[in-house]
């Protein structure tokens, strides 16, 4: 594939590394230094774009790729308030977009098991649940997109929790969740790629379900795999659609 990279921070550089390793070619790199001068004509000849930029830049990049009829993988989070309008624009103009809060294979396995665990524990009301996420201090959004996806998976399978609330530790007044609210606790620590934990606590025990990223390699490789999967498809997709864990586990519910 001929790939356009939208954003060239640590993730963009890693994506380039894995793309080349898998036989692809990066034909254009777009970042804050040249974004204002990039037009539709600059994207001609490319097969796919991969966006790991910023929330505001991602929305602009999505519009540009739609105009250029260029399939797009979006790993940037923080723009999901506009998700529905982007989806409508994508489908109406018959474009191709795949987005996700996390492209790591391990995290997507985590997403699936998280839903199964929430469903299994739901009848036992003595357990209260919360989500904890830890990232490096340079991360722009809180909670992380991954934590939100985890929270949504719990809410879908809980008869007690209706919404989530976020407490950024060390910033402002502590947020205390109500009984029907799922607490996402966000911590920012130097150079932590990403750690996500789901805690189910009762008076007698605690169940802890955890994913720890050792580095960003899994995210970058997953983004390239997603771009490969998107080839030849038209529509609006989530990264979870790449994986069919239901078939693996025989779970059709």
What are the catalytic residues?
A: 135, 139
State whether residue 236 is helix, strand or coil.
Answer: strand
Q: Which helix (H) or strand (E) holds 206?
A: strand 206-212
* Alpha-carbon gap, residue 186 to 236, rounded angstroms: 29
Q: Classify residue 102 by burial, with Cβ atoms within 10 Å: 0-12, 13-18, 19+.
A: buried
State whether residue 13 is helix, strand or coil.
Answer: helix
Q: At what angle do helices 83-92 and 55-67 cross, to 10 degrees?
A: 10
Contacts of 50 (CB under 8 A, 6+ apart): 3, 4, 5, 6, 12, 15, 72, 73, 75, 223, 224, 227
């Amino acid at each position: 594939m001929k790939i356009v990279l939208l954003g060239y921070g640590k993730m963009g550089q890693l994506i380039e590394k894995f793309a080349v390793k898998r036989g692809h070619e990066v034909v254009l790199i777009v970042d804050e230094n040249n974004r204002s001068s990039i037009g539709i004509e600059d994207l001609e000849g490319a097969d796919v774009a991969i966006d790991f930029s910023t929330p505001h830049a991602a929305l602009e990049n999505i519009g540009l790729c739609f105009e250029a009829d260029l399939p797009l993988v979006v790993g940037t989070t923080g723009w999901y308030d506009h998700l529905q309008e982007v989806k409508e624009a994508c489908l109406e103009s018959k474009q191709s977009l795949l987005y996700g809060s996390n492209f790591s294979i391990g995290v997507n396995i985590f997403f699936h098991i998280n839903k199964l665990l929430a469903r299994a524990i739901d009848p036992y009301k003595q357990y209260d649940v919360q989500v904890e996420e830890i990232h490096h201090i340079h991360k722009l959004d809180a909670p992380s997109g991954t934590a939100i996806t985890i929270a949504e998976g719990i809410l879908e399978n809980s008869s007690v929790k209706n919404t989530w609330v976020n407490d950024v530790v060390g910033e402002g007044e502590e947020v205390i969740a109500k009984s029907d609210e799922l607490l996402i606790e966000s911590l920012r620590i130097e150079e932590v790629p990403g750690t996500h934990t789901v805690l189910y606590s009762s008076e007698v025990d605690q169940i802890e379900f955890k994913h720890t990223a050792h580095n960003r390699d899994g995210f970058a490789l997953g983004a390239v795999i997603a771009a490969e999967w998107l080839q030849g498809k038209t529509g609006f997709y989530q990264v979870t659609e790449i994986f069919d864990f239901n078939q693996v586990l025989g779970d059709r519910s």
